[in-house]
Every structure is written in C-alpha cells, then in structure tokens.
Amino acid sequence: MRQSHHKLTVATSGQGFYDITADVVARLSADRYRTGLLTLFIRHTSASLLIQENADRDVLDDLTAFLARVAPERQSLYRHVAEGNDDMPAHIRAALTQTHLAIPIVDGRLGLGTWQAIYVVEHRRAPHARLVLFHVLGD
C-alpha cells in the first residue's frame, strides 16, 4: 500500500459551485492507483466541498437558493459580521455542507456515479483562492 499528497488551488469569482472533477482526475492520473481511497479536504471555513449532480444546472441553482434561505445575508441576525453581510452566512452554509470528501478509486478511476461531479462551493461574494488538499491511500 502506498500514499500520496497533492494540493489544488481553486480561484473563485464569488458565490457559486466550481466543478473541480477534471482537475482532481488530472492530478491523480500520474499516481496510477488501481484501487484505493481519495480524501479531499478544503482548508477554509467559508467554502465547502460537495459531490453533486452535473447534468442539470437547476440542481445547483436550487441548492444555492436553499442555502440563501437557510442562512440569509442580514447582519441583524448575527453577531459575527466583521467581514460584511456574507461573512456569518458563509460560515453557516459551510457548516451545513462538507469540508472533506472520501471517494473510492476503483479500477484506476474515481468511483463517482454517472451524474456526479466534485464541487468547491464558494459561500463568499468576493473572489478567493481556495486550497483543496488531496490524500490518496491505495495500490
């Protein structure tokens, strides 16, 4: 059994879903794992990771609208507003989603379903550089 580590910086242009599936596959292809487990971890408290539908954009739009209803951008609701209206709502949205993912590697490929993609979800309105760490364990 062997392991490897990688980093991916994702440049975001504001709130939204950023598909990083092709970047993840490209970074893993050189390692030539046949079987194993990929763990992805995002090093931020106002952005998250999701595996979600990649065929119908309405899914991502509905998720965006849902998160906006659950954690609205109204400063009067929060004590932590140091960085603006979107600060605390971004933390809440990140807490409700995921900071890490575990994806099996099967026959040299990610074990994703037909309509699944890996997304960095930016919860802040301003552009950011988000760091995603990879850890692969396998053969």
pLDDT for 50 beyond 90: yes
Confidence (pLDDT) at 30: 87
Check whether 63 has a pLDDT greater than 90: yes
**Which structural domain range is residue 37 located in?**
2-138
DSSP-derived letter for residue 125 is S
Q: What 8-state DSSP symbol labels residue 76?
A: G
Name the E strands within 31-127. 35-42, 47-53, 100-106, 109-110, 116-122
Q: How confident is the model at residue 120 (pLDDT cuts 50, 70, 90)?
A: very high
Average pLDDT over the chain, rounded to an integer: 97
Residue 32's CATH number = 2.60.120.460
- Check if the beta carbon of residue 12 is closer than 8 Å to that of residue 131: no
Residue 8 has what pLDDT?
A: 98
When divided into structural domains, the chain yields a total of: 1
pTM of the shown model: 0.96
